[in-house]
């Protein structure tokens, strides 16, 4: 078995956790391959591949960092069909749910087949003839100094609204606790199959978030707006101009996300958000 490791390069005590991970995996007979940017940071691991290529050369991926680090490799991991185990070296950590103190325990549970491996819904986003995979969300928004934008929203080919707002978020249930939640959208359990459409600071207060079946196709057309950008999982972005359209639908691919055994989603909400307290 081969394990790949990607990490947030400037995370505190990164070398210590790299050494711990590599040592534990080697004792279990697992070959370790580092992402290219970690070259020389720890002994006992092979020099590896660029981050987005690494998932195609290993059997599972260990992420040491925060949610942004995990999101940067989620699409490639889903395409490769490998499990992704995230250990939080950052702050909140919804996706990198495993605590750094649980590193060896979590790896051991996974290698022994005791960990939970959830199949997380992803979205396929088509823009300017290219197709992208996202785990959390696709966001259309304006720059800080630009005026409100207008976006025509169609579901299954039928226009449901022209939203005038600072932007609009199309989110998965996994992404519901991210930007969607900050913009007033609902929390959706990731085991629910759905797509969430949430306006960002809409001009009309009647334009509220809506949850639609995951089988629905969503089309977002920019009617008006200057300095507008499409951002995917907060990692990749492109400028948009009036008349351009973004198409969003449920992807065939799923992210295989490793979670701690015995810890429910609702426990995680209480720990991370104080929800229900």
Q: pLDDT for 119-141, tens place per residue?
A: 999 999 999 999 999 999 999 99
> Is 217 found in the same domain as 168?
yes
Q: In the predicted model, what is the mean pLDDT of the chain? A: 93
The number of folded domains in the chain is 2
Q: Please choose, from the candidates 236, 223, 226, the residue with its C-alpha nearest in 3D space to the C-alpha of residue 154.
A: 223
Q: Crossing angle, helix 14-27 and helix 103-111, to 10 degrees? A: 30
> Is 142 found in the same domain as 248?
yes
> Is 126 found in the same domain as 77?
no
> Is 130 found in the same domain as 246?
yes
- Residue 237: count of CB within 10 angstroms of its CB: 13
- Burial class of residue 190 (count of CB atoms within 10 Å of its CB; 0-12, 13-18, 19+): buried
> Is 163 found in the same domain as 92?
no
Q: Average pLDDT in the 195-221 region?
A: 95
Q: What is the CATH number of the domain that holds 161?
A: 2.60.200.30
| CA distance linking residue 247 with residue 127, whole number of Å | 7
- Beta-carbon contacts of 48 under 8 Å, excluding residues fewer than 6 positions away, are 4, 33, 34, 35, 36, 38, 39, 54, 57
Q: How confident is the model at residue 277 (pLDDT cuts 50, 70, 90)?
A: low
> Is 248 found in the same domain as 128?
yes
As a whole-number percent, the residues of the chain with pLDDT over 70 amount to 99
> Is 18 found in the same domain as 77?
yes
Asked whether 239 and 141 are in contact (CB, 8 A), the reply is no
Q: Model pTM greater than 0.75?
A: yes
Q: 14 has which bridge partners?
A: none
- List the catalytic residue out of 67, 75, 137, 233: 67
In degrees, rounded to 5, the angle at the alpha carbon of residue 94 between the alpha carbons of residues 185 and 261 is 125
In degrees, rounded to 5, the angle at the alpha carbon of residue 203 between the alpha carbons of residues 201 and 209 is 55
Task: Indicate if the alpha-carbon torsion angle 177, 180, 185, 186 is positive or negative.
Answer: negative
Q: Provide the pLDDT for residue 262.
A: 80
> Is 10 found in the same domain as 81?
yes
* Structural domain span for residue 236: 122-252
Q: How far is Cα of residue 218 from the mean position of the Cα atoms in its chain?
A: 19
Q: Provide the pLDDT for residue 260.
A: 83
Q: Average pLDDT in the 74-80 region?
A: 97
- According to DSSP, residue 169 is labeled E
| CA distance linking residue 197 with residue 218, whole number of Å | 9
pLDDT of 84 > 90? The answer is yes
> Is 175 found in the same domain as 61?
no
> Is 68 found in the same domain as 14?
yes
Q: Is 67 a catalytic residue?
A: yes
Q: What is the CATH number of the domain that holds 43?
A: 3.40.50.10330
> Is 235 found in the same domain as 191?
yes
Q: Provide the pLDDT for residue 163.
A: 95
- Beta-carbon contacts of 122 under 8 Å, excluding residues fewer than 6 positions away, are 74, 75, 78, 133, 134, 135, 172, 250, 251, 253, 254, 255
> Is 174 found in the same domain as 90?
no
């Amino acid at each position: 078995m081969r394990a790949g490791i990607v990490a947030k390069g400037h995370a505190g005590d990164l070398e210590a956790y790299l050494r711990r991970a590599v040592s534990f995996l080697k004792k279990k007979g697992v070959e370790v391959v580092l992402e290219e940017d970690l070259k020389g940071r720890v002994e006992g691991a092979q020099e590896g591949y660029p981050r987005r290529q690494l998932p195609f050369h290993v059997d599972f991926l260990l992420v040491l960092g925060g949610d942004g680090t995990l999101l940067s490799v989620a699409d490639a991991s889903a395409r490769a069909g490998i499990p992704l185990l995230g250990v939080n070296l950052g702050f909140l950590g919804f996706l990198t749910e495993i605590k750094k103190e649980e590193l060896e325990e979590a790896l051991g549970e996974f290698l022994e087949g005791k960990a939970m491996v959830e199949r997380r819904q992803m979205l396929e986003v088509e823009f300017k003839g290219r197709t992208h995979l996202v785990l959390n969300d696709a966001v259309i928004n304006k720059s800080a100094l630009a005026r409100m934008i207008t976006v025509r929203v169609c579901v299954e080919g039928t226009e449901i609204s022209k939203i005038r707002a600072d932007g609009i978020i199309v989110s998965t249930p996994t992404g519901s606790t991210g930007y969607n939640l900050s913009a007033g959208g609902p929390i959706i359990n990731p085991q629910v199959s759905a797509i969430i459409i949430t306006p960002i600071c809409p001009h009309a207060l009647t334009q509220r978030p809506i949850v639609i079946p995951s089988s629905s196709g969503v089309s977002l057309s920019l009617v008006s707006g200057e300095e507008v950008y499409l951002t995917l999982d907060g990692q990749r972005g492109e400028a948009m101009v009036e008349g351009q359209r973004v198409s969003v639908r449920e992807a065939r691919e799923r992210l295989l996300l490793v979670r701690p055994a015995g810890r429910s989603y609702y426990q995680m909400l209480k720990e991370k958000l104080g929800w229900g307290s």
